[in-house]
Amino acid sequence: MLEVTDLGKDFGGLQAIDSVSFTLRKNTITGLIGPNGAGKTTLFNTIAGVYKPTRGSIAFNGEAIGGLSPHRIFHKGLVRTFQIPRPFPDMSVLENLMVVPARQYGERFWNNWFRRGRVRQQEQDIHDKARETLKFLNLERVTHEQAKNLSGGQQKLVEIGRALMADPQLILLDEPGAGVNPSLLAEIIDRIRELHEKGITFLLIEHNMDMVMNLCDPILVMANGRLLMEGNAETVRTDPRVLDAYLGGSPDE
């Protein structure tokens, strides 16, 4: 589904990503781990279109997307969430989901005059889909709550909900477990598994090793802007290069 080939991203003289190559198979949950500063978020941002690659290529479903704008990549079915949730704070949780779908008829003012029935029907369809998504995420009780009043874990679930409103094929999850209490973390993990069973593919950055080892296969390990290795949980857990990277050794040793 996703093919990254010899990808590089420079900021001045700094190589944040250096010749990274990997492929994601459809309907997998792939983990991306590595110490702070390894280049994981820069890799996410480059795949999602926030940054243009300095070198290399990115293909999604066989189509080159390297250098496309984030909204064009989004419309192709590749969606990302953020480590720090970014809801519209003064809008309700329901409204945060309803604003996501593209090409809404009501966004063009003349449709509200000449195609009122079509606008109303589409808005009702989006409303129903948002309510179903909130039910799936166990967020029904906060449907009409302002997003700024939610806990960190609830906001992470809203991030996932907004991603789902785009009918994604691949979701990039940026630290879905960060700052989340254990009960909500278990809920997030359950929802990811259920969505995976429904055919959605995931690539996630996460520092919670228990979550990664129990949820992800394969696991990609980055260090110093490079892809250090790829393997299953047992392979990654016992590889001396991974231990060196996390404990301060050089990945080249």
SS (H, E, C) the chain: CEEEEEEEEEECCEEEEEEEEEEECCCCEEEEECCCCCCHHHHHHHHCCCCCCCEEEEEECCEECCCCCHHHHHHCCEEECCCCCCCCCCCEHHHHHHCCCCCCHHHCCCHHHHCHHHHHHHHHHHHHHHHHHHHHCCCHHHCCCEHHHCCHHHHHHHHHHHHHCCCCCEEEEECCCCCCCHHHHHHHHHHHHHHHHCCCEEEEECCCHHHHHHHCECEEEEECCEEEEEECHHHHHHCHHHHHHHHCCCCCC
Q: Does residue 27 sit in the same domain as residue 58?
A: yes
In a domain, 154, yes or no: no
Q: Tell me the pLDDT tens digit for each residue of 64-84.
A: 999 999 999 998 999 999 888
209 and 172 within one domain: yes
User: Minimum mean pLDDT among 35-49, 107-121, 123-137, 181-195: which range?
Assistant: 107-121
**205 and 135, same domain (yes or no):** no
What per-residue confidence (pLDDT) applies to 213?
Answer: 92
Of the candidates 149, 176, 198, which is a domain's last residue?
149
Same domain, 83 and 102: no
Q: Is the residue at 161 inside a domain?
A: no
Do 79 and 198 fall into the same domain? Answer: yes
In this structure, are 60 and 177 located in the same domain? yes
pLDDT for the residue 252: 42
Do 81 and 50 fall within a single domain?
Answer: yes
If asked whether residues 6 and 75 sit together in one domain, one would say yes
Structural domain contains residue 155: no
Split at pLDDT 50, 70, 90, the class of 219 is very high
Residue 73 has a pLDDT of: 95
Do 10 and 81 belong to one domain?
yes
If asked whether residues 128 and 200 sit together in one domain, one would say no
The per-residue pLDDT for range 164-198, each reduced to its tens digit, is 999 999 999 999 988 888 888 898 999 999 999 99
Inside any domain, residue 221: yes
pTM (predicted TM-score): 0.86
Same domain, residue pair 7 and 115: no
- Residue 27 within a domain: yes
Which of residues 103, 124, 149 is at a domain's end? 149
Overall number of domains in the chain? 2
Judge whether residue 216 has pLDDT over 90. yes
Does residue 145 sit within a domain? yes
Within a domain: residue 160? no
Q: Give yes or no for residue 129 having a pLDDT over 60.
A: yes
Q: What is the pLDDT of residues 139-165, one digit of tens each?
A: 999 999 999 999 988 999 999 999 999
Question: What confidence tens digit (pLDDT) does each residue in 11-32 have?
Answer: 998 999 999 999 999 999 999 9
User: Residue 35's domain spans which residues?
Assistant: 2-87+166-247
CATH at 180: 3.40.50.300
Boundary (domain end) residue, out of 101, 121, 149: 149
Q: Are residues 177 and 243 in the same domain?
A: yes
